[in-house]
Structure 1
Amino acid sequence: MTKPKRFHPFYIVVEFFNVIKYWVIPLALSLVKDELSFSWWQYGMFAILFCLFVFDIIRWRMETYTLTGKTIHVNEGVFTRKVKSIPFSKIQNCNQRTPFLYKVVGVTQLKLDTGMDGDDDTITFHVITIAEARRIQQLIQTKSDSLETKEQQEVEPSVITKEERTLHFSPTAKDLFRASFTSLSMFVVIPILLSLYSKLDELKEIVPIQWVEDQAQSFIVQQTWIMMIVLLIIMVCISFVVGIIRTFLKYGKYEVSSDKTHVYIIQGLLNESSFSIEKKRVQAIVIKQPFLKRLFRIAEVKLISAGGIDHSEAKDDINSLFPFLPRKDAEAMISTILPEYQVISTMHSLPRRSLWYKLSIPSYSWILSTAIIAGLVIWVPALQPYTWLLYGVSAFILLLSVLRKILAYGNTQYVMNGSYIQMKHGGFGTELFLTKRTKVIDVSVERGPIQKWFDLATIVTSNRGKPVLHRFRLSGVPIPLADTFFTWYRERDQEISIVNEDQKK
């Protein structure tokens, strides 16, 4: 057993900043308003901040971690002590975040996901050196591989071979420009401007900005419409430039690589993030094509794992094989990195009665919008001259709803290929789901009143995921397919029995 280790001392600064970042602006504004004269409550705030800083130091001293031969032990808490112990074999994937400030100091954050339920499903090394994070990941990978290669370790117990990674994808300038347009990054300026405008009233009491408002209003009144168009064009250009810069910073260093056992994803120029997962831990593959991406024939490939990204905390989806890949390139990359998963281009469509079933489902968005429009026409007399226009909007919403249902019928497809199942659904956008029978933990068949009338059903698969199970629903399938689906899934027990027997041998 190795000696217990502490996080990097920069952990104290990070934790203290996470506390004071919500206090700094109100405290600074109050000091400016009071002309730098301190009151009793401001002294109290400084005293509380000092106590919190001391508490962070104590917590840094008391929280430690230990790496043994097969297990990670983490001691947490100050007043209430807690010990987490997780075997290396339970770790599903590793997530590493290195914000720009962390890179300057030479530290990073490492999160190990197990895919288990409860509070002990994740171990987080909040602030450790980059070299220490690399050492931990190599140790986990070595121990994980040793469980499958015991015979090789008996022959050469002291030799640890480091496999070379194969780089599968790194975006070009063309890929990044395409990503900046299809991700709508240029519109990121709009919420920023709206946020700044909403803060003007709060700053009026401290900063004299009334003169700026008067000058802006005078300029708008005096200038011609040509000048306004020029200003609009300038704002659009600025938005495009900001969007392109944002995309380059986020995806400029995107790399997808793999070795014999793992898949590695790295992204970010200033704020770097990385994701690694053992190939056998991949539960399913999802290919998403929202409407705009379908127009440009690009797709996003996501790897579903039991210890995937916790989206309640994560800002970026780092478990994606670059969200703006051409569809054919995405499918080719899947077959290269994960040869077990082959995307089948020819799939089975639904029978014609499924179309009538989808069209018979009420469009609640159209019903609600029509009710609102009718209420406006009745209770707002000023809108009555525009009745035809309002009901035209209602008709347009109904047309979109019908078109979406027709597209959903055409896009809903399926195929069962041996131990694999591939399903696809969607209207204006599509989502393709590919998984293996042994990775599916539960299946079900649902039937509503309208489905019973058309002799149809909905099949549902459940795979392990995080923070919840990943479920995929295929609606409007015929009953014989649902029966075949159950028969296909029953063979899972036989496959698992064979795998367990092989492991015992």
Structure 2
Amino acid sequence: MTDLPRRRLHPLSPFLHSIRQLIALVAVISWQGFANLGVARFLGVVVLILIGAVIYSVITWRFTGYEVTGRELRIYEGTFSRRVRTIPLERLQSVEVVRPFLAQLTGLAELRLEVVGGGKAEAPLAYLTVAEAGSLRTQLLELARGGSAAPAENEPRGPEPVLYAARDEDLLLSQAMTPEVIFLPIAAAFVVVQFALAGSFGFIAIASMITALIGVLIRPVRRVTRNWRCTLTERETRLHIRRGLTETHSQTVPVQRVQGVTVTWPLIWRPKRWLKATVDIAAQGSQGADPDDHEATTLLPVATLDEARAVVPWLLPRVDGELASVDIAALPLSGVPERAVWLAPLARTVLAAGLTPHVFATVDGLLTRRLRLVPYARIQSVRVQQGPVQRRLGLATVHVDVAGAPPASAPERDLAEAYELAGELTVRARAARAAA
């Protein structure tokens, strides 16, 4: 095994880290500077701030860096208080190369690491040159799966097969077909009418309405800029996701690290027969009740059923080196008993679950239909839970827990069926882990 010697980050790294604070500080001074200092003194203060930032950047740069020793990545940082962070590479789930706008202007990139149990991107390396970031990503992933840190030489590399490429016009239209955008004109008209009837339609009213409109539009606009020209490719059981407009992302996810796949059909998209798909990896930061918490692992921001049917098998762990035979349009799912209408009167006809040769599948959601696929080898625990009403109706819910991702649940199953399902899941999970 070849270790990577200690290296420093790019000299511009500390300056790029503090550029936002510098801009904010200069802006604060600008409001009062001309009034109290005058033009000459104001410019002098700005120059002193820039000189101080450069000195601090140089000092910080001298004490920051990284190295790979054995199966560990060590990151050195800190100016006055030194700190060394050690990341075991066997916990590495995915590596992402991110290029914010300022980094693109300077030809740099940031390397973000997702590890098991991490609440967010662990120990981001910011900033490196684009070539260095790509090379380091490849070497870290190779070490994580038990290979060598030494880069492969003279290795033939053909074009990666494209599994999916988002259409920009579909992405724009899909975000226009979201509740935020659709109901925005109605909300704006209501506010205008209210202010007009009250006779207080002035500057403050207009400014407040514009601020509210911007706040509502931030999420769909962020989805568009983040998933712009999203492309999914695969090489050697690794998924490569490239996307982004103002901030480009190039993420690599080893297929063996995938904990589950979620396919959703929003109600407003159903006339267009569109869906979206996300993938879960064992990182605590990717879970949460907010769908936008999964933006980091969105694979298909807007796609057709045929596209999803072709892509989903590539997202699941291989079986004897072959793709898993999973067709999301023809899953062997069973519904819930009729007496479940007392607990789910509207969603009873939607709830379903089933066992396929390779994954556990569940379906729920009345307005937004959701399909969850969990490979048996990724199951951590299986639970059967009964509430007081479920006990009277002879029903139960089966929960399947996976590492660092939301559980898959099969609610309102017949009690005997629930225990039988839990037992079969336990057996299949044990067999899948033994074969892995």
> Mapping of 1:118-157 within 5 angstroms?
122-144=122-144, 147=147
Matched letter for residue 479 of structure 1: L
- C-alpha contact 2:97 2:134 (8 A) present in aligned 1: no
2:318 is the counterpart of 1:323:
no
Q: Find the aligned partners of 1:498 and 1:249 in 2 and give their Cα distance.
A: 42
Counting matched residue pairs gives 398
Residue aligned with 2:245, SS: coil
Q: Find the aligned partners of 2:307 and 2:16 in 1 and give their Cα distance.
A: 41
Q: Find the aligned partners of 2:122 and 2:357 in 1 and give their Cα distance.
A: 35
Matched letter for residue 331 of structure 1: R
Matched letter for residue 237 of structure 2: T
Residue aligned with 1:321, SS: strand
> Mapping of 1:77-96 within 5 angstroms?
77-96=78-97
Q: Find the aligned partners of 2:98 and 2:262 in 1 and give their Cα distance.
A: 24
Q: 1:483 aligns with which of 403, 407, 419?
A: 419
> Mapping of 1:63-462 within 5 angstroms?
63-68=64-69, 70-116=71-117, 122-144=122-144, 147=147, 160=155, 162=157, 164-183=159-178, 249-307=225-283, 310=286, 317-336=295-314, 338=316, 339-340=323-324, 342=326, 343=328, 344-358=330-344, 405-406=345-346, 408-462=347-401
Q: Which string of whole-angstrom CA distances, capped at 9 and with x for unpartnered residues, describes residues 357-414 of structure 1? A: 22xxxxxxxxxxxxxxxxxxxxxxxxxxxxxxxxxxxxxxxxxxxxxx41x2121111
Offset at 1:174?
Answer: 4.4
- C-alpha contact 1:164 1:259 (8 A) present in aligned 2: no
Q: Find the aligned partners of 1:272 and 1:137 in 2 and give their Cα distance.
A: 16
Q: Which residue of 1 aligns with 2:31?
A: 29
Q: Which string of whole-angstrom CA distances, capped at 9 and with x for unpartnered residues, describes residues 326-352 of structure 1? A: 233212221355432612444211111
Matched letter for residue 430 of structure 1: R
Offset at 1:169?
Answer: 1.8
- 1:82 and 1:213, CA in 2 relative to 1: closer, same or farther beyond 3 A? closer
Q: Find the aligned partners of 2:184 and 2:41 in 1 and give their Cα distance.
A: 39
Matched letter for residue 178 of structure 1: L
Q: Which residue of 1 aligns with 2:60?
A: 59
Matched letter for residue 83 of structure 1: V
- 1:495 and 1:164, CA in 2 relative to 1: closer, same or farther beyond 3 A? farther
User: Considering only aligned residues, what root-mean-square deviation do their CA atoms show, in Å?
Assistant: 4.1
Q: Find the aligned partners of 1:463 and 1:83 in 2 and give their Cα distance.
A: 30
- C-alpha contact 2:97 2:111 (8 A) present in aligned 1: yes
Q: Find the aligned partners of 1:497 and 1:429 in 2 and give their Cα distance.
A: 33
- 1:452 and 1:38, CA in 2 relative to 1: closer, same or farther beyond 3 A? farther
2:414 is the counterpart of 1:471:
no
- 1:85 and 1:430, CA in 2 relative to 1: closer, same or farther beyond 3 A? same
Q: Which string of whole-angstrom CA distances, capped at 9 and with x for unpartnered residues, describes residues 257-287 of structure 1? A: 1113101111123321122101111110011
Offset at 1:5?
Answer: 1.3
Q: Find the aligned partners of 1:454 and 1:105 in 2 and give their Cα distance.
A: 64
Give me the identity figure in percent: 17
- C-alpha contact 1:93 1:308 (8 A) present in aligned 2: no
Offset at 1:444?
Answer: 1.5
- C-alpha contact 2:166 2:301 (8 A) present in aligned 1: no
Q: Which string of whole-angstrom CA distances, capped at 9 and with x for unpartnered residues, describes residues 287-309 of structure 1? A: 12222223432111111111376
Q: Which residue of 2 aligns with 1:392?
A: none
Out of 125-134 and 345-354, give the one that drifted further: 345-354
TM-score w.r.t. length of structure 1: 0.68
Matched letter for residue 351 of structure 1: P
User: In proportion to residue count, which structure has more helix?
Assistant: 1
Matched letter for residue 135 of structure 2: R
Residue aligned with 2:295, SS: coil
Out of 82-91 and 7-16, give the one that drifted further: 82-91
- C-alpha contact 1:275 1:318 (8 A) present in aligned 2: no
Q: Find the aligned partners of 2:56 and 2:286 in 1 and give their Cα distance.
A: 28
Q: Find the aligned partners of 2:325 and 2:50 in 1 and give their Cα distance.
A: 54
- 1:481 and 1:164, CA in 2 relative to 1: closer, same or farther beyond 3 A? farther
Q: Find the aligned partners of 1:112 and 1:427 in 2 and give their Cα distance.
A: 36
Offset at 1:477?
Answer: 1.6
TM-score w.r.t. length of structure 2: 0.77
Q: Which residue of 1 aligns with 2:21?
A: 19
Q: Find the aligned partners of 2:249 and 2:294 in 1 and give their Cα distance.
A: 9
Residue aligned with 1:443, SS: strand
- 1:443 and 1:247, CA in 2 relative to 1: closer, same or farther beyond 3 A? closer
- C-alpha contact 1:170 1:254 (8 A) present in aligned 2: yes
